[in-house]
Amino acid sequence: MLKNIHPLLNGELLNVLRSMGHGDDIVLVDRNFPAVSVANGKPVIRLDGVSVTEAASAILSVLPLDTFVDHPVKRMQVVGEDEAYMPKVQQEFSTVLKAADSKSAEMGSLERFAFYEAAKQAFAIVVTGEARGYGCFLLKKGVIFA
């Protein structure tokens, strides 16, 4: 065990987060997301039995978000709904985001297939046990200045 490291951050996930560079994305998704086919050989980390908000809280406890872009966190838009519409899972994620990093609290959004394309470019995908649809988010890693 390590002090001050969230217990959901296993060795594989910590290694991925450490290995990412400034501007790299990590995708945090619900259990319905086609992670393996989208990842196309990139790391897919499973956190079965964990909600997307629990996973986000753990990841955001160590991951700095990019301050050089308008929206370092993006969510998948709900098909057939207005762009601004956020289901409960996204509202809860927003609350976790505000608690972790209030400067980056306003999420951007991507249409479903644009989200898939962005996910293909990501460094890794974390699949949670989130049962609610549209629990899919991109997080862009930032820097920690000395």
**Structural domain boundaries of the chain?**
21-140
Report the CATH number of the 21-140 domain. Answer: 3.40.1650.10
* Pairing between β-strand 124-128 and β-strand 25-29 as defined by DSSP bridges: parallel
Cβ–Cβ under 8 Å, residues 104 and 72: yes
- The pLDDT value given to residue 96: 95
Characterize 8-35 residue by residue with b for buried, 16 or more Cβ atoms within 10 angstroms of its Cβ, and e for exposed.
Answer: bbeeebeebbeebeeebbbbbbbbebeb
Q: What's the pLDDT at 15?
A: 92
Q: Under DSSP, is residue 89 helix (H, G, I), strand (E, B) or coil?
A: helix
How many secondary structure helices (H) and strands (E) does the chain include?
5, 6
At residue 1, the pLDDT reads 63
Which amino acids are annotated catalytic?
22
Distance (Å, rounded) from C-alpha 126 to C-alpha 55?
Answer: 9
pLDDT given for residue 111 in this prediction: 97
Which two structure tokens, joined as six digits, stand for 16?
């991925």
pLDDT in tens, the chain (146 residues): 678 899 999 999 999 999 999 999 999 999 999 999 999 999 999 999 999 999 999 999 999 999 999 999 999 999 999 999 999 999 999 999 999 977 767 899 999 999 999 999 999 999 999 999 999 999 999 998 88
104: helix, strand or coil: helix
Query: In whole angstroms, what is the distance from residue 50 CA to residue 129 CA?
Result: 5
pTM: 0.94
Q: Where are the alpha helices (DSSP H) in the chain?
A: 11-19, 35-39, 52-60, 88-100, 112-120
